[in-house]
Amino acid sequence: MKTSKKIIGTLAIPVIVAAVLLILCAANGKSMIANRTSFNYFTLYTAIVMITTMALSINLGSGRFDFSLGAMAVLASILSSKISYALLAGGTGSAVLMLCLNIVIGGLLGLCSGALYVTLRIPPIITSLGVTLIYEGISFTVTGGKYVMTEVRNASMTAFAGNWYFSALIIVLVLAFIVYLFDHTRFGYDYKALQSGQKVAVNTGIREVPNALWCYVICGALMGIVGFLNVARSSNINGGSLNFGSIGIMFTAFLPMFIGGYIGRYSNDKLGYLMAALCMSMLNSTFAAFSNEISASAQSIINAVLLVVFLIYLNNEGLLKKILSPKKA
């Protein structure tokens, strides 16, 4: 594929989305990103969507459905906020410490989830149901069902949320790390082999269990980062989610995952997730600009319809091309 085609293919969807949404906003006298603060939160949301999508796609791409992503993000944030507050009492460096702890604790939670899966050898979707309930239960027990606020409200967190380049830096680092790990290491090659042909890969000597465990650790660490970014965005953690109340976060990542996968045909699927996250973030900012016209219910419906329409296109591409292409005489 020519480089120009790669570039066009990669940028086409975000550029088209940006153009359509900007025209829509301009035509109605609105602005998608009103000011610097809005841009800070735009970047933060882009990071959240990109990393959640990556975490979802790592295991889902291998046929491992994971309902526990949201519960991991919440529990990692709760534990790290408590520890960082105990150590620094909200002082200088609290945000950095909390981010580091979130990554470590998230990784450990992912490891526990993965260990349960490889030990019990029951389908991952079922393991994830159990793990979700367990992690939600721990979060509730640790917080007493309350919002965590004091531990996450400090100048350090405010400074993080108030500067877009911190989020941008996280996007770059995570993207570079994931691209390197999955596209340029032995682990990544094994992952792809297992993804495309589990039985053949195992028969050729690829060790499936360590590979799966690492996938869970990476997912956990990524969701730890998402948990931290969510805290930076909302300055509280809801510890009161029980009975699968935390699984909603997973559903928001479906649309960017499919869009990212499509863009990935022209370049790299991880880069595709970033482009898709940008699209979602622009859509989100547009919804915010039109919040008086488009209710939360209407936003849910629009997102769902976009998902279905995109999937109809994706899964019937060949047929559509056949119908739309000029017939030969």
Partner 1 sequence: MEQEAILRKYKLRQRLIDLLPLAALAALFAILCITVQSKGYRLDMYLKIIFNEGVVLAVVATGAVFIYTLGSFDISLGASTLFSATLGVMTYNATGSLPLMILVIFGVAVGCSLLSSVLASVFHIPVFVTTVAMMSVLSAIAAQIITTNGGAVGGISIPSALVKPLDNMGFKIAVLAIFWLICFFVFDFTKIGRKQKFLGGNPVCAQLTGIQVNKYAIIAFVMAGIGVGLGAFLTLVYTPSVTATTAGSIGMNIIVAIVFGGMPISGGPRSRIYSALVGGFSYILLNNILKLVIDSNIGYGVSQIVSAVFFLAVVYVTGLNYRSQMLPR
Partner 2 sequence: MKKALALILALVMVLALAACGNSAPAASNDAPAAAGNDAPAANDKPIKIGVLVSDVSGEEALGFRAYYENYIAKNYNVTFTYTEQLEDAAAEKAAIEKFAAQGYDAILSLSASDRTTQIETCIANGLYYAVVSGMLDDAQFEQFKGEQYFVGQIGPSMDTEYEAGYAMGKHFADNGAKTVGIYGAFIPNPMHVYRTAGVLAGLGCTYGGASDKDGIAGQLFGDQGVNMEKLECGDVQVIGYFQGFGDTTFDELFAIVGQQPDAFLSVGMATTFFADALNGAKIPYSDIDSFTSGNAANMADGTLVYLAGKYSSSIGPIFAAVMNAVQGNPVRDAEGNALSISQSYLVATDSAAFDSIFNGDKGDSPIFSKDVLDTVIGAVSYDDFVKLVESK
Q: What residues make contact with partner 1 under the rule CB under 8 A?
A: 62-64, 116-118, 120-127, 129-134, 136-141, 144-145, 198-199, 202, 208-209, 212, 242-244, 247, 251, 254, 258, 295-298, 300-301, 303-305, 307-308, 311-312, 315-316
Q: Does 28 bind partner 2 (CB under 8 A)?
A: no
The span from the CA of 70 to the CA of 92, in Å, is: 28
Tokens of 162: 């108030």
Q: Strands 147-148 and 237-238: what pairing?
A: antiparallel
Residue selected from 236, 251, 271, 307 as contacting partner 2 according to rule CB under 8 A: 236
Element (H, E) at 202: helix 198-203
Using CB under 8 A as the binding rule, the residues of this chain from 274 to 293 that contact partner 2 are 284-285, 287-289, 291-292
In angstroms, give the least distance from the CB of 156 to partner 1: 29
In angstroms, give the least distance from the CB of 136 to partner 1: 6
Q: Does 296 bind partner 2 (CB under 8 A)?
A: yes
* Residue 200 contacts which entry, partner 1, partner 2, none (Cβ below 5-8 A, type-dependent): none
The answer to whether 157 and 231 have CB atoms below 8 angstroms apart is yes
In angstroms, give the least distance from the CB of 190 to partner 1: 13
Of 76-84, 99-107, 153-161, 267-275, the segment contacting partner 2 by CB under 8 A is: 153-161
Residue selected from 141, 150, 185, 196 as contacting partner 2 according to rule CB under 8 A: 150
In angstroms, give the least distance from the CB of 152 to partner 2: 9
Nearer residue to partner 1 within complex by CB, 44 or 247? 247
The span from the CA of 174 to the CA of 155, in Å, is: 25
Residue selected from 8, 16, 26, 34 as contacting partner 2 according to rule CB under 8 A: 34
In angstroms, give the least distance from the CB of 255 to partner 2: 12
CA distances (Å), origin 108, targets 114, 139, 216, 218, 245: 10, 15, 9, 9, 22
Q: Percentage helix, strand, coil, to 5, in the chain?
A: 75, 0, 20
Closest among 73, 122, 108 to 246, alpha carbons compared:
73
Q: Does 45 bind partner 2 (CB under 8 A)?
A: yes
The span from the CA of 301 to the CA of 295, in Å, is: 10
Runs of H (alpha helix) within 197-253: 198-203, 208-234, 248-251
Using CB under 8 A as the binding rule, the residues of this chain from 66 to 95 that contact partner 2 are none
The span from the CA of 147 to the CA of 56, in Å, is: 26
The answer to whether 218 and 58 have CB atoms below 8 angstroms apart is yes
Element (H, E) at 323: helix 317-324
Tokens of 18: 């940006």
Q: What x/- string results for residues 242 through 271 when contact with partner 2 is judged by CB under 8 A?
A: xx--------x-------------------
Nearer residue to partner 2 within complex by CB, 240 or 261? 240
Q: What are phi and psi of 66, to 5 degrees?
A: -130, 105
Residue selected from 7, 12, 19, 149 as contacting partner 2 according to rule CB under 8 A: 149
In angstroms, give the least distance from the CB of 163 to partner 1: 33
* Residue 23 contacts which entry, partner 2, partner 1, none (Cβ below 5-8 A, type-dependent): none
In angstroms, give the least distance from the CB of 255 to partner 1: 9
Residues with Cβ within 8 Å of residue 255, at least 6 apart in sequence: 276, 280, 303, 306, 307, 310
In angstroms, give the least distance from the CB of 208 to partner 1: 6
Nearer residue to partner 1 within complex by CB, 29 or 144? 144
Three-class SS of residue 148?
strand
Angle between helices 36-60 and 254-263 (to 10 degrees): 80
